[in-house]
Structure 1
Amino acid sequence: MSTTDTRPPARRTPTGAAQRVVPVIERFLGGALPVRLRMWDGSEAGPFDAPTVHVRTRRALRRLLWQPGELGLAEAYITGDIDLDADLGDGLRAVRRAVRERGLTAPAPTVADRIGAAGLALRLGAVGPRPPVPAARAGLRGALHSKARDRAAISHHYDLSNAFYALLLDETMAYSCGYWTGDGADYGSADAQRDKLELICRKLGLEPGARLLDIGCGWGSLTLYAAERHGVHVTAVTLAAEQAAYVRQQVAERGLDDLVEVLNIDYRDIPGRPGTRGAYDAVSTVEMGEHVGDAEYPAFTAILHDALRPRGRALVQQMSRGANAPGGGAFIESYIAPDMHMRPVGETVSLLEGAGFEVRDVESLREHYVLTVEAWRRTLEERWAEFTALVGEETARVWRLYLVGGALAFEERRMGVDQILSVRPDAVGSAAMPPTRRDWYAPARPGEER
């Protein structure tokens, strides 16, 4: 009997880019890959029940070699070098859940790790010059929080174009957290924004003839609402030229010239205007304080305080964050809001008290922001072709990543947003505040829209 084995040789599993890359990724992750990986050569590796990440080009690896971590991954997504086969929000949520459940903690990479990764990239043909930075990335110059640099930072985000924001936002043009008091099919983003605006007006105790200083007025949602619905005289301040032009146009179209003044100035120039000190019954700043800067915030709160008459009220609506990545992380700081600084809400309260305010109410709107950002994201997806035609594919992908990541950050309590109501007491300590919050949340009065 012959001892020769006549069976066909066993088929060897082909080793593609995925099989070669996964061990290196897992070394940097500190554990098993939480996603399935599909590479440009069609090879796949990783769990079958996880979102699939498509690495479409060798350039994606080159980006990560030149810019490891969050920013490199974000730029690979922005340029389309990396994509997900599932909804981006569902994919990121699944990845974060897997990381938590598996307790993945990335170890500090050694020199040998880096050399090994570079060698693999070389063998895969992914080594080369630094890929071009996406055009949507901010490129600020000058001293941090100088007036010129702050103007450039604000312009980068808010002067993208009024047409873009009109497409993204609802009819109120409010680009801040709404206040969701209903959940029916006939209740939407515009309703939540109007409910937020009414709540702010009630907290500030606005009556016809009152004077309101609206710092960081955006596209004028609060300014226009307070003037039209409450007969308030408003001084609206914005550093963004596109916003100022839009609000002035709305003021003219609505016949509010006798009630609204729009100033395209830096908030630091407010005290230099005649008749500013102690002239206002109320001051509002809705999600503008994040752009002020850490070292500059005490001076900012002093401006709010000094602009008010005794017993005047200030409402600050502001995002909060722990000590980790106060600017929001590398992607946010590079593409969305350069130079932004957030802090825990307790620190903001302390800074307001240090300026002479008595803080009377703090209300968290964190869950409301999940709903607000999700509404914007749905609009982006539903009108994707219009957005890409207007601003291009890369910028649209920046905003998709921004909105998906933002909703997830609020959902997971890595970020918060709060309304902080303060008062400037008079010389004998009187604040003239209502004894309860009842009127702030009361139903709309007969004939009054909410």
Structure 2
Amino acid sequence: MNTFTDTPGTGAAQRIAPVVEQFLGGPPPVRIRMWDGSETGPEDAPTVHVRSRRALRRLLWQPGELGLAEAYITGDIDIADDLAEGLRAMRRASREQGLDLPRPGIADRLRAAGTALRLGAVGPRPPVPAARAGLSGALHSKARDRAAISHHYDLSNAFYSLLLDETMAYSCGYWTGTGPDYGPADAQRDKLELICRKLGLTPGARLLDIGCGWGSLTLHAAARHGVRVTAVTLAREQAAYVRGQVTERGLEDLVEVHCCDYRDVAGLPDFRGGYDAVSTVEMGEHVGDAEYPAFTALLHSVLRPQGRALVQQMSRGSTAPGGGAFIESYIAPDMHMRPLGETVGLLEGAGLEVRDVESMREHYVRTVEAWHRTLEERWPQFTALVGEETARVWRLYLVGGALAFEERRMGVDQILSVRPDAEGAVGMPPTRHGWYEGLGVAGRGGDAPDEPVVAGPRAGAGR
């Protein structure tokens, strides 16, 4: 049964139903339960519980995605069933019903305000949740970029240690196994190893890791391949963590960690140009649209001839939305995604030759779902650490993110490019042979995952 039914009576649900239908352009795809217990909507649909009048007040002051998100974050709105299944069912029902959101006019808004007034929901603007970012200054100035990065990545190392696996990789994994003994950490190690192979890293090679995060690739490349790494991050918490890991693992001769803006890498004490490889794993989304050509020019300039660049980056469809109001307000302020083809064009425009592109969209569904499972399993620990509202921000973020990748509204890709020499030679192998061989077993059943394959002092002897 999937019919639009109302609970008998004249409760809040019956009063709000015409307004909901008007703003949605058709019957709601969910069942709505109001604070007084009255209900309206399809009986077999997910139930949205409007717990207080404040939820309506939030939507009056902030209509659309952001108002709904903030009502959920504060607990004014909840989904009675599993949030992921609820959002998926709502989107599916919206597609099946062909709902086309109209643009309410002044008369429509006045009518909605009148209904809210009769329900006692009119009042001053509710306070903005504390987890919302508040940035100022010129877009993508160094100061504003530092604040944007700090908002997300400096939440605390304790938080990310609780959320992520032992690799501390906060990016899409590469899932080569499906068995019960294959987990998120294995997928991350396979991703890190795949990047090293695509970059052709060998002992003594020089790698610039821009946006190194908590050092998963930096540490993997140094410990397992004897690579000399210059690691760069704008997040102070990340830099402190990576430095600690470098010392703990005895990699001081191989790794330099710098907390600075990517635009300042040319001024680093150990910057000498001529890197054999440069990596940037899910950092390019923070660069900005207008600044991206300069970013790709930087990738070209730091490489020696025949040096390789690996960009792992999220993308959006040509007609699909990017981050959206919620993501940009609470998760990644000033984030910018573009269709994959545009990024490829920008890399080529900088003088790099794109040699390989691999979509990892389905891999991100599994990666984000793994993070979400961890969040739910450790929910009391998360709420004790960051509070209920911030924990709900992350629940909504992870659930919505997995759904965006699942439905192809967002993608993620590894783009391998190379700087040709003066004669046009790139030094690339003729095939991809060897890139994927042995993935899925590396680091399991033998050496410990982070045990050095090439000892630090020997690998750094040629420095």
Q: TM-score, normalised by structure 1?
A: 0.96
- The structure number with the bigger radius of gyration is 1
Residue in 1 aligned with 2:362? 367
CA apart distance, 1:275: 6.3
Among 323, 340, 343, the alignment partner of 1:348 is 343
Does structure 1 residue 19 correspond to structure 2 residue 10?
Answer: no
Corresponding position: 1:40 with 2:46: no
Q: Is the 8 A contact 2:317 2:408 kept in 1?
A: no
> Does 1:65 find its partner at 2:60?
yes
The partner residue of 1:152 within 111, 133, 147 is 147
Compute the RMSD of aligned alpha carbons: 1.4
Specify the alignment match of 1:8 in structure 2: none
- The counterpart of 2:312, out of the listed 317, 327, 342, is 317
User: Within 2, Cα distance between the matches of 1:247 and 1:254?
Assistant: 10
**Which residue type is aligned with residue 135 of structure 1?**
A
For 1:357, the equivalent position in structure 2 comes to 352
Q: Which 5+ residue runs of structure 2 have no aligned equivalent? A: 1-6, 450-463
- 1:271/1:303 contact within 8 Å kept: no
Deviation at 1:323, TM superposition (A): 4.6
1:56 is aligned to: 51
Runs of 4+ aligned structure 1 residues displaced above 6 Å come to 445-450
Q: 1:366 to 1:82 in 2, by over 3 A?
A: same
* 1:51-100 superposed Cα distances (whole Å, 9 cap, x missing partner): 00000000000000000000000000000000011100000000000000
1:121 alignment partner in structure 2: 116
Greater RCO, 1 or 2 (C-alpha within 8 Å, sep 6+) = 2
Which secondary structure does the structure 2 equivalent of 1:171 belong to? coil
Over 3 Å counting, the alpha-carbon distance change for 1:48 and 1:243 in structure 2 is: same
* 1:147-187 Cα deviation digits (max 9, x unpaired): 00000000000000000000000000000000000000000
Contact 1:277–1:308 under 8 Å retained in 2: no
| Counterpart pick for 1:255 among 245, 250, 253 | 250
The residue number in structure 1 matching 2:387 is 392
In structure 1, runs of 5+ residues without a counterpart are: 1-11
Letter in 2 for 1:140: L
Cα deviation 1:104-160 (Å, max 9, x = unaligned): 001111211100000000010000000000000000000000000000000000000
Residue 281 of structure 1 corresponds to 276
How far 1:13 sits from its partner (Å)? Answer: 3.7
Q: Counterpart of 2:277 in structure 1: which amino acid?
A: A
Q: Check the 8 A contact 2:320/2:409 in 1, yes or no.
A: no
1:175 aligns with 2:161: no
SS state of the match for residue 10, structure 2?
coil
The alpha carbon displacement at 1:322 in A equals: 2.8
Q: Could you tell me how far 1:440 is from its partner in structure 2?
A: 0.5
Q: Which of 92, 97, 100 is the matching residue for 1:102?
A: 97
AA partner of residue 300 (structure 2): H
CA deviations on 1:400-439 (whole Å, 9 max, x unpaired) are 0000000000000000000000000000000000010011
Contact 2:242 2:257 in 1 (8 A): yes
Task: Write the deviation string for residues 379-413 of structure 1: whole angstroms up to 9, x where unpaired.
Answer: 00000000000000000000000000000000000
C-alpha distance in 1 between matches for 2:59 and 2:229: 49
**Following the alignment from structure 2 to structure 1, what is the Cα–Cα distance between the partners of residues 226 and 165?**
23
Is 1:377 the equivalent of 2:372? yes
- AA matched with 2:130: A
Identical-pair percentage: 82
Other-structure match for 2:398: 403
Figure out how many residues of one structure are paired with residues of the other and give that number.
439
The amino acid of 2:219's aligned partner reads: L
